[in-house]
Structure 1
Amino acid sequence: MNRAELIDLISDKAELTKTSASRALDALLEGVTISLQNGDPVVLVNFGTFTVKQRAAREGRNPSTGEKIKIKAAKVVGFKAGKALKEAVKA
């Protein structure tokens, strides 16, 4: 599903115009982004939890040359699916 399809779904399910659905989606994504930038988790009950994780520096290899390279530490977004989402996907 892409952004346009998601906006169509929100519009239909919430009985909103596509413009309103687009603004609602933008607000949601902005809120999630701001929360994660501040280091706060985003918990959506029965859907899942978004968190910021610290990935340690490590040594890797350049796939084309086999040469060892250093990979810097980085912050990454993690997602853990909630129980209801896991069960919905299983069914």
Structure 2
Amino acid sequence: MAKPMTKTQLVAALAEEMGAEKKTASAALDAVVSIITKEVSGGGAVTLPGIGKIYCRERPERMVRNPATGEQIKKEADKVVKMTIAKALKDSVNA
């Protein structure tokens, strides 16, 4: 399995694709991340065309088991960020 792309590598690839400087590409990437973070943390969802949909889902209160002791503990309700992958991306990976 290949190593994940780092932010530096992503910025360099984005700059090359845009035909812009790395500083501009970095600012664009930071802006996109900021927008997604604000929208999802506020309970909304963001659809990235061709990539997928990022959204927040609430999980109910539940009982979980401590693997070290086997003790049952009550876990409070919380939120979790989920992502549904677009069919176009799935198809391109499997092609």
- Which of 13, 29, 36 does residue 25 from structure 1 map onto? 29
Instruction: Please tell me the residue identity of whatever aligns with 1:29.
Output: V
Counterpart Cα distance in 1 of 2:60 and 2:72: 17
Provide the secondary structure at the position in 2 that maps to 1:87: helix
2:64: which partner in 1? 60
* RMSD of equivalent CA atoms: 1.0
Task: Please report the TM-score for the alignment, with normalisation by the length of structure 1.
Answer: 0.93
- Which of 26, 43, 49 does residue 47 from structure 2 map onto? 43
Counterpart Cα distance in 2 of 1:59 and 1:48: 31
Provide the secondary structure at the position in 2 that maps to 1:52: strand
Instruction: Please tell me the residue identity of whatever aligns with 1:20.
Output: T
Provide the secondary structure at the position in 2 that maps to 1:34: helix
2:15: which partner in 1? 11
Identity %: 37
Counterpart Cα distance in 1 of 2:24 and 2:83: 27
Structure 1 segments of 4 or more deviating over 6 A?
A: none
Provide the secondary structure at the position in 2 that maps to 1:46: coil
Shift of 1:45: 2.0
Instruction: Please tell me the residue identity of whatever aligns with 1:65.
Output: T
Counterpart Cα distance in 2 of 1:4 and 1:69: 41
Cα deviation code 1:38-64 (max 9, x no counterpart): 211101222110111011111111111
The answer for unaligned runs of 5 or more in structure 1 is: none
